[in-house]
Amino acid sequence: MANPTLTQQLIELIMNKPIAPVDFQQAAMFTLDALANALAGRVSEPGALLLRWADATGVIDAERRAFLLGALTHILETDDLHRASVVHPGCVVVPAVWAIATRERQRGHAVLRAVLWGFEAATRIGMAVGPTHYRIWHNTATCGPYGSAMAAAALLKLDVPATVHALGNAGTQSSGLWQFLETGAMTKHLHAGRAAAAGVLAADLARFGFTGPPAILEGAKGLFAAACPDADPDAVVRDPDGPWQLLQTSIKPWPSCRHTHPAIDAACELRHAVIGPIEQIEVETYPAALEVCNRPAPQSDYEAKFSLHHCVAAALMRETVDFAAFTATARIELANMRERVTVRVAEPYASSYPQAWGSAVTITLQSGERLTVRRTHAKGDPEAALTCVELIAKTRMLLTHGGVPDPDRLMTAILALADDAPLPELYLTY
């Protein structure tokens, strides 16, 4: 094409990007993290409902399998997050890859290449949609279909024109609104599942010659025009020689909204420094964190995961911020401390977002002493990455929570994909 669309430019950038052994290794780690989240997500109320649906309707094809895996992966709020795009790529890309790779009998390096390609497409488009988009639209749901389609195209060995059609038709399925936060509805899991399934369907159709809009991003009636008033189209193909975006993605150590994590991290440090009763707690953060997580009195486990007040209180009062920290019992125990928390937007966190997700927590003791801990980045970000030991411990915890009988064997098999090993069986019953 004389004037290639943004979609074509993105596809060619991704297809021409070299993959080093360390990239395969990191892709295997993110694949493990996503699948562990999916298996653990079964042990939850929405997970049980999804499995009942699957059992009743019969999940047999790749599209519906990708939907189920994607929805399960996003339930426990412990899946990965790419800061600059505000996209959770793993819950969309890995389920699509696993569904297609299982059907097509793909193995190791082909699977991990697809993961890298999918992360790259979803996050690059996510970096381009602009901050205003995120106030109404859930970026994982709207940008995720491009990632799942790119990943599926990799496994199906589609050429550039066919992949353009795949991303065009994935993008026209782009959707997902934040309205569910008003009631704590289960819709967020639907977002991840649909984004994973949309890319699988789009790539499968493209394989048969089914066409899609080449200018789905920048066209007069494309994504940017429809839902991105301050889009940055150049971000789609900016810095083509930089590291894979998967390497810029964060892995969560705590089962709550990522916007709460820098404050949790700061509060955890304060917990070890406090001597005496706490009178007041002040949290400074960036606007998006307040828009999503300003919930002084959460009424459910899920609302508590989206409450800065609750998460900071839990980090100050409990040894670990784990699944138990969000239960009804924990919400009652932490109510008094939660009432002492105030949250506000402050610099430098507001200006640094979304490139850096930072926060500060200040506590005032009854003695009048004030203690402050600041975080430019949260634990689990590339700048403060989890160690291999911490990541394996997290994965083992998730797999054990999900009832996987031999977690270490499954972990070893998934990590062996970096050595081009075959796919292991997930034993995902439905």
What gap in Å lies between CA 379 and CA 397, rounded to an integer?
Answer: 18
Burial of 175 (C-beta count, 10 Å sphere; 0-12/13-18/19+): middle
| CB atoms closer than 10 angstroms to residue 272 | 6
Reported CATH class of domain 6-253+385-419: mainly alpha
Residue type, 204: D
Q: Is 3.30.1330.120 the CATH number for 258-379?
A: yes
Angstrom distance (rounded) from CA 59 to CA 257: 29
Q: Where in the chain is the domain with CATH 3.30.1330.120?
A: 258-379
Phi then psi for residue 81, to 5 deg, are -155, 130
**What is the structure's pLDDT at 355?**
86
Please count the other Cβ atoms lying within 10 Å of the Cβ belonging to residue 25: 14
Kindly list the distances between the CA atom of residue 241 and the CA atoms of 145, 154, 210, 383, in Å, as whole numbers in the listed order: 24, 20, 32, 20
Per DSSP, what are the bridge partners of residue 360?
284, 374
Residue whose tokens read 């010659």 = 209
Q: Would you state the structure tokens that stand for residue 370, as one six-digit string?
A: 């004030």
Taking only the tens of pLDDT, the chain with its 430 residues reads 568 999 999 999 999 999 999 999 999 999 999 999 999 999 999 999 999 999 998 867 999 999 999 999 999 999 999 999 999 999 999 999 999 999 999 999 999 999 999 999 999 999 999 999 999 999 999 999 999 999 999 999 999 999 999 999 999 999 999 999 888 899 999 999 999 999 999 999 999 999 999 999 999 999 999 999 999 999 999 999 999 999 999 999 999 999 999 999 999 999 988 878 999 999 999 999 999 999 999 999 989 999 999 999 999 999 999 999 999 999 999 999 999 999 999 999 999 998 899 999 999 999 999 999 999 998 999 999 998 889 999 999 999 999 999 999 999 999 999 999 999 998 776 5
**pLDDT confidence of residue 2:** 67
Which pLDDT score is estimated for 105?
95
Structure pTM? 0.91
Instruction: Tell me the pairing of strands 249-250 and 370-375.
Output: unpaired
The three-class DSSP label of residue 360 is strand
Contact 373, 266 (CB under 8 A): yes
Task: List, as one string, the DSSP characters of 170-205.
Answer: HHTT---BGGGGGTT-THHHHHHHHHHHHHHHHHHH
Question: Across 322-397, where does the E strand assignment appear?
Answer: 341-345, 359-365, 370-375
Amino acid 371: pLDDT: 95
**Token reading at 302:** 């899920």
Cα 203 to Cα 186, 286, 339: the distances in Å are: 27, 37, 50
Domain with CATH 1.10.4100.10 in the chain: 6-253+385-419
Are the C-beta atoms of 195 and 138 separated by less than 8 Å?
no
Q: Where are the alpha helices (DSSP H) in 208-334?
A: 223-227, 261-273, 287-293, 301-305, 308-317, 328-333
Helix, strand, or coil (residue 119): helix
Q: What is the pLDDT of residue 60?
A: 78
Other CB atoms within 10 Å distance of the CB of residue 142: 29
